[in-house]
Amino acid sequence: MEQQIIVSYTRSAFGMVLNVLQEMRLKQWTKNLLVFASAIFAGEILNPGILLNAVIAFLSFSFMASTIYIINDIVDVEKDRLHPEKCSRPISAGTISVPLAICVGFLTFCIALTCAFFLNYYVFIAVLVYFILNLSYSLYLKHVVIVDVMIIAAGFVLRAVTGALAVGGMLTSWFILCTLGLSLFLALGKRRHELVLLKNNSDSQRKVLSFYSIELIDQLMSIITAVLIMFYSMYASSENPMMMLTIPFVLYGVFRYYYLIHMKDAGGKPEEILINDRHILLTVLLFSISVVAVLKFM
Protein backbone atom coordinates (compact mmCIF):
# COMPACT_ATOMS: atom_id res chain seq x y z
CA MET A 1 0.00 0.00 0.00
CA GLU A 2 2.78 2.38 0.98
CA GLN A 3 4.68 1.52 -2.18
CA GLN A 4 1.61 2.31 -4.30
CA ILE A 5 1.30 5.69 -2.59
CA ILE A 6 4.96 6.44 -3.32
CA VAL A 7 4.55 5.43 -6.98
CA SER A 8 1.38 7.51 -7.29
CA TYR A 9 3.08 10.52 -5.70
CA THR A 10 6.11 10.14 -7.99
CA ARG A 11 3.92 9.99 -11.07
CA SER A 12 1.98 13.03 -9.92
CA ALA A 13 5.17 15.00 -9.28
CA PHE A 14 6.63 13.95 -12.62
CA GLY A 15 3.43 14.97 -14.37
CA MET A 16 3.51 18.35 -12.63
CA VAL A 17 7.10 18.92 -13.76
CA LEU A 18 6.12 18.11 -17.34
CA ASN A 19 3.21 20.56 -17.12
CA VAL A 20 5.52 23.26 -15.78
CA LEU A 21 7.99 22.68 -18.60
CA GLN A 22 5.14 22.81 -21.10
CA GLU A 23 3.98 26.12 -19.64
CA MET A 24 7.52 27.48 -19.95
CA ARG A 25 7.25 26.68 -23.69
CA LEU A 26 10.76 25.33 -24.18
CA LYS A 27 10.13 24.96 -27.92
CA GLN A 28 9.78 28.72 -28.21
CA TRP A 29 13.23 29.16 -26.72
CA THR A 30 14.48 28.65 -30.28
CA LYS A 31 13.48 32.29 -30.92
CA ASN A 32 16.28 33.29 -28.57
CA LEU A 33 18.91 31.70 -30.79
CA LEU A 34 19.10 35.18 -32.28
CA VAL A 35 21.43 36.14 -29.42
CA PHE A 36 24.11 34.06 -31.18
CA ALA A 37 23.87 36.21 -34.32
CA SER A 38 26.50 38.74 -33.26
CA ALA A 39 29.04 36.03 -32.45
CA ILE A 40 28.31 34.26 -35.74
CA PHE A 41 28.64 37.41 -37.85
CA ALA A 42 31.84 38.31 -36.00
CA GLY A 43 33.23 34.87 -36.90
CA GLU A 44 33.91 34.19 -33.19
CA ILE A 45 31.22 31.62 -32.43
CA LEU A 46 33.90 28.90 -32.08
CA ASN A 47 35.75 30.91 -29.43
CA PRO A 48 34.98 29.10 -26.11
CA GLY A 49 34.72 32.30 -24.05
CA ILE A 50 32.50 34.04 -26.61
CA LEU A 51 30.32 30.93 -26.99
CA LEU A 52 29.89 30.61 -23.21
CA ASN A 53 28.75 34.24 -22.89
CA ALA A 54 26.33 33.76 -25.78
CA VAL A 55 24.89 30.63 -24.12
CA ILE A 56 24.38 32.49 -20.83
CA ALA A 57 22.66 35.35 -22.70
CA PHE A 58 20.48 32.75 -24.44
CA LEU A 59 19.47 31.25 -21.10
CA SER A 60 18.76 34.69 -19.64
CA PHE A 61 16.42 35.61 -22.49
CA SER A 62 14.83 32.16 -22.50
CA PHE A 63 13.92 32.22 -18.82
CA MET A 64 12.66 35.80 -19.13
CA ALA A 65 10.56 34.77 -22.14
CA SER A 66 9.06 31.95 -20.05
CA THR A 67 8.20 34.52 -17.38
CA ILE A 68 6.34 36.58 -19.97
CA TYR A 69 4.53 33.52 -21.31
CA ILE A 70 3.33 32.66 -17.82
CA ILE A 71 2.13 36.20 -17.11
CA ASN A 72 0.38 36.38 -20.47
CA ASP A 73 -1.36 33.03 -19.91
CA ILE A 74 -2.57 34.12 -16.47
CA VAL A 75 -3.95 37.39 -17.87
CA ASP A 76 -5.65 35.70 -20.85
CA VAL A 77 -6.72 32.47 -19.15
CA GLU A 78 -10.43 32.89 -19.89
CA LYS A 79 -9.92 33.80 -23.55
CA ASP A 80 -7.40 31.01 -24.04
CA ARG A 81 -9.98 28.45 -22.91
CA LEU A 82 -12.06 29.40 -25.97
CA HIS A 83 -9.11 29.23 -28.37
CA PRO A 84 -8.77 26.04 -30.51
CA GLU A 85 -5.04 25.70 -29.73
CA LYS A 86 -4.36 27.75 -26.58
CA CYS A 87 -7.01 25.86 -24.59
CA SER A 88 -4.50 23.02 -24.18
CA ARG A 89 -1.97 25.19 -22.35
CA PRO A 90 -1.49 24.05 -18.73
CA ILE A 91 -2.94 27.16 -17.06
CA SER A 92 -6.03 27.37 -19.28
CA ALA A 93 -6.46 23.58 -19.13
CA GLY A 94 -6.27 23.65 -15.34
CA THR A 95 -3.32 21.27 -15.03
CA ILE A 96 -1.35 24.07 -13.35
CA SER A 97 -2.94 26.33 -10.75
CA VAL A 98 -2.49 30.09 -10.96
CA PRO A 99 -0.59 30.27 -7.60
CA LEU A 100 1.88 27.63 -8.82
CA ALA A 101 2.26 29.47 -12.12
CA ILE A 102 3.06 32.68 -10.22
CA CYS A 103 5.75 30.87 -8.21
CA VAL A 104 7.30 29.40 -11.36
CA GLY A 105 7.17 32.80 -13.07
CA PHE A 106 8.94 34.46 -10.16
CA LEU A 107 11.63 31.76 -10.22
CA THR A 108 12.26 32.09 -13.98
CA PHE A 109 12.35 35.89 -13.58
CA CYS A 110 15.07 35.64 -10.91
CA ILE A 111 17.11 33.13 -12.93
CA ALA A 112 16.92 35.36 -16.02
CA LEU A 113 18.16 38.46 -14.20
CA THR A 114 20.88 36.50 -12.39
CA CYS A 115 22.25 35.18 -15.70
CA ALA A 116 22.11 38.67 -17.21
CA PHE A 117 23.86 40.28 -14.24
CA PHE A 118 26.58 37.62 -14.43
CA LEU A 119 27.48 38.87 -17.93
CA ASN A 120 27.46 42.63 -17.48
CA TYR A 121 25.35 45.62 -16.51
CA TYR A 122 24.27 46.37 -20.09
CA VAL A 123 22.89 42.87 -20.64
CA PHE A 124 21.03 43.15 -17.33
CA ILE A 125 19.40 46.42 -18.46
CA ALA A 126 18.55 45.00 -21.91
CA VAL A 127 16.85 41.91 -20.43
CA LEU A 128 14.97 44.10 -17.95
CA VAL A 129 13.82 46.38 -20.79
CA TYR A 130 12.65 43.27 -22.66
CA PHE A 131 10.59 42.28 -19.63
CA ILE A 132 9.02 45.74 -19.21
CA LEU A 133 8.27 45.99 -22.92
CA ASN A 134 6.60 42.59 -23.05
CA LEU A 135 4.73 43.16 -19.80
CA SER A 136 3.28 46.33 -21.35
CA TYR A 137 2.42 44.28 -24.41
CA SER A 138 0.62 41.62 -22.37
CA LEU A 139 -1.38 44.15 -20.36
CA TYR A 140 -2.28 46.69 -23.05
CA LEU A 141 -0.15 47.20 -26.16
CA LYS A 142 -1.21 43.92 -27.79
CA HIS A 143 -4.60 45.56 -28.34
CA VAL A 144 -3.15 48.50 -30.35
CA VAL A 145 -3.10 47.85 -34.10
CA ILE A 146 0.34 47.98 -35.79
CA VAL A 147 1.97 48.77 -32.44
CA ASP A 148 1.40 45.15 -31.40
CA VAL A 149 3.45 43.89 -34.35
CA MET A 150 6.17 46.47 -33.75
CA ILE A 151 6.49 45.41 -30.10
CA ILE A 152 7.00 41.80 -31.16
CA ALA A 153 9.64 42.96 -33.63
CA ALA A 154 11.33 45.08 -30.96
CA GLY A 155 11.68 41.95 -28.82
CA PHE A 156 13.69 40.25 -31.56
CA VAL A 157 15.88 43.32 -32.04
CA LEU A 158 16.58 43.34 -28.30
CA ARG A 159 17.65 39.70 -28.52
CA ALA A 160 20.18 40.52 -31.24
CA VAL A 161 21.45 43.62 -29.43
CA THR A 162 21.76 41.71 -26.15
CA GLY A 163 23.77 39.01 -27.90
CA ALA A 164 26.21 41.66 -29.10
CA LEU A 165 26.42 43.23 -25.63
CA ALA A 166 27.10 39.82 -24.11
CA VAL A 167 30.00 38.92 -26.39
CA GLY A 168 31.39 42.39 -26.98
CA GLY A 169 30.41 42.29 -30.64
CA MET A 170 30.05 45.24 -32.96
CA LEU A 171 26.59 46.60 -33.69
CA THR A 172 26.10 48.15 -37.12
CA SER A 173 23.04 49.95 -38.43
CA TRP A 174 22.63 47.36 -41.20
CA PHE A 175 22.72 44.50 -38.70
CA ILE A 176 19.96 46.13 -36.61
CA LEU A 177 17.90 46.89 -39.71
CA CYS A 178 18.21 43.28 -40.91
CA THR A 179 17.03 42.05 -37.52
CA LEU A 180 14.13 44.51 -37.55
CA GLY A 181 13.08 43.44 -41.05
CA LEU A 182 13.17 39.75 -40.14
CA SER A 183 11.27 40.43 -36.92
CA LEU A 184 8.47 42.30 -38.66
CA PHE A 185 8.29 39.54 -41.27
CA LEU A 186 7.82 36.86 -38.59
CA ALA A 187 5.38 38.98 -36.55
CA LEU A 188 3.14 39.66 -39.57
CA GLY A 189 3.23 35.97 -40.45
CA LYS A 190 2.02 35.19 -36.93
CA ARG A 191 -0.87 37.65 -37.23
CA ARG A 192 -1.87 36.22 -40.60
CA HIS A 193 -1.93 32.70 -39.18
CA GLU A 194 -4.19 33.86 -36.34
CA LEU A 195 -6.62 35.46 -38.78
CA VAL A 196 -6.78 32.30 -40.90
CA LEU A 197 -7.11 30.04 -37.85
CA LEU A 198 -9.83 31.99 -36.06
CA LYS A 199 -11.63 33.30 -39.16
CA ASN A 200 -14.90 34.95 -38.06
CA ASN A 201 -14.15 34.58 -34.34
CA SER A 202 -10.88 36.53 -34.37
CA ASP A 203 -12.22 39.57 -32.52
CA SER A 204 -13.48 37.43 -29.62
CA GLN A 205 -10.01 35.97 -29.10
CA ARG A 206 -7.81 38.99 -29.76
CA LYS A 207 -9.47 42.37 -30.21
CA VAL A 208 -6.67 43.80 -32.32
CA LEU A 209 -7.29 41.19 -35.04
CA SER A 210 -10.56 42.94 -35.91
CA PHE A 211 -8.45 45.83 -37.23
CA TYR A 212 -6.47 43.58 -39.56
CA SER A 213 -7.40 41.71 -42.71
CA ILE A 214 -5.54 39.02 -44.61
CA GLU A 215 -5.28 41.36 -47.59
CA LEU A 216 -3.68 44.11 -45.49
CA ILE A 217 -1.18 41.74 -43.90
CA ASP A 218 -0.29 40.23 -47.29
CA GLN A 219 0.50 43.72 -48.60
CA LEU A 220 2.58 44.55 -45.54
CA MET A 221 4.44 41.25 -45.82
CA SER A 222 5.24 41.93 -49.47
CA ILE A 223 6.78 45.25 -48.48
CA ILE A 224 8.73 43.79 -45.57
CA THR A 225 9.99 40.87 -47.68
CA ALA A 226 11.49 43.25 -50.24
CA VAL A 227 12.92 45.49 -47.52
CA LEU A 228 14.42 42.56 -45.60
CA ILE A 229 16.21 41.22 -48.67
CA MET A 230 17.48 44.71 -49.51
CA PHE A 231 18.71 45.28 -45.94
CA TYR A 232 20.61 42.01 -45.86
CA SER A 233 22.11 42.53 -49.31
CA MET A 234 23.35 45.97 -48.27
CA TYR A 235 24.72 44.55 -45.03
CA ALA A 236 26.52 41.71 -46.80
CA SER A 237 28.10 43.96 -49.42
CA SER A 238 29.25 46.52 -46.84
CA GLU A 239 30.63 43.92 -44.40
CA ASN A 240 32.68 41.77 -46.76
CA PRO A 241 32.30 41.27 -50.53
CA MET A 242 32.49 37.51 -50.00
CA MET A 243 29.49 37.73 -47.68
CA MET A 244 27.38 38.19 -50.78
CA LEU A 245 27.78 34.44 -51.28
CA THR A 246 25.37 34.00 -48.36
CA ILE A 247 22.57 35.99 -50.01
CA PRO A 248 21.10 32.94 -51.85
CA PHE A 249 20.52 31.24 -48.47
CA VAL A 250 18.64 34.30 -47.24
CA LEU A 251 16.57 34.46 -50.43
CA TYR A 252 15.62 30.79 -50.24
CA GLY A 253 14.88 30.93 -46.51
CA VAL A 254 12.59 33.96 -46.86
CA PHE A 255 10.83 32.57 -49.92
CA ARG A 256 10.39 29.16 -48.29
CA TYR A 257 8.87 30.74 -45.18
CA TYR A 258 6.65 32.92 -47.38
CA TYR A 259 5.52 29.76 -49.17
CA LEU A 260 4.68 28.00 -45.89
CA ILE A 261 2.65 31.00 -44.72
CA HIS A 262 0.57 31.35 -47.87
CA MET A 263 0.30 27.77 -49.10
CA LYS A 264 0.37 25.79 -45.86
CA ASP A 265 -1.27 28.36 -43.52
CA ALA A 266 1.79 28.16 -41.27
CA GLY A 267 3.55 31.04 -39.53
CA GLY A 268 1.79 30.98 -36.17
CA LYS A 269 4.76 29.33 -34.47
CA PRO A 270 8.08 30.20 -36.14
CA GLU A 271 9.94 28.00 -33.66
CA GLU A 272 8.02 24.91 -34.83
CA ILE A 273 8.68 25.73 -38.48
CA LEU A 274 12.40 25.94 -37.70
CA ILE A 275 12.33 22.53 -36.04
CA ASN A 276 9.85 20.70 -38.27
CA ASP A 277 10.54 22.06 -41.75
CA ARG A 278 13.71 20.41 -43.01
CA HIS A 279 14.18 22.99 -45.75
CA ILE A 280 14.19 25.90 -43.29
CA LEU A 281 16.37 24.06 -40.78
CA LEU A 282 18.94 23.06 -43.41
CA THR A 283 18.97 26.58 -44.83
CA VAL A 284 19.64 28.11 -41.40
CA LEU A 285 22.45 25.63 -40.74
CA LEU A 286 24.08 26.18 -44.14
CA PHE A 287 23.70 29.93 -43.79
CA SER A 288 25.37 29.93 -40.36
CA ILE A 289 28.22 27.73 -41.57
CA SER A 290 28.77 29.88 -44.66
CA VAL A 291 28.85 33.10 -42.62
CA VAL A 292 31.44 31.69 -40.21
CA ALA A 293 33.49 30.30 -43.12
CA VAL A 294 33.49 33.60 -45.01
CA LEU A 295 34.36 35.76 -42.00
CA LYS A 296 36.90 33.34 -40.55
CA PHE A 297 38.76 32.11 -43.59
CA MET A 298 38.15 34.57 -46.45
* 110 CB neighbour count, 10 Å cutoff: 12
- Radius of gyration (Cα) for the chain, nearest Å? 20
pLDDT in tens, 139-153: 888 888 899 899 988
| Alpha carbon distance 95, 291 (integer Å) | 44
- Percent of the chain whose predicted confidence (pLDDT) is above 90: 29
Poorest-confidence range of 30-39, 184-193, 230-239, 263-272?
263-272
Q: Which residues contact 176 (CB under 8 A, 6 or more apart)?
A: 157, 160, 161
Asked if 128 contacts 113 with a C-beta cutoff of 8 angstroms, the reply is: yes
Q: What is the pLDDT of residue 65?
A: 92
- Please tell me whether residue 157 adopts helix, strand or coil conformation: helix
- Predicted confidence band at 59 (pLDDT cuts at 50, 70, 90)? very high
Q: What is the pLDDT of residue 1?
A: 55
- Predicted confidence band at 276 (pLDDT cuts at 50, 70, 90)? confident
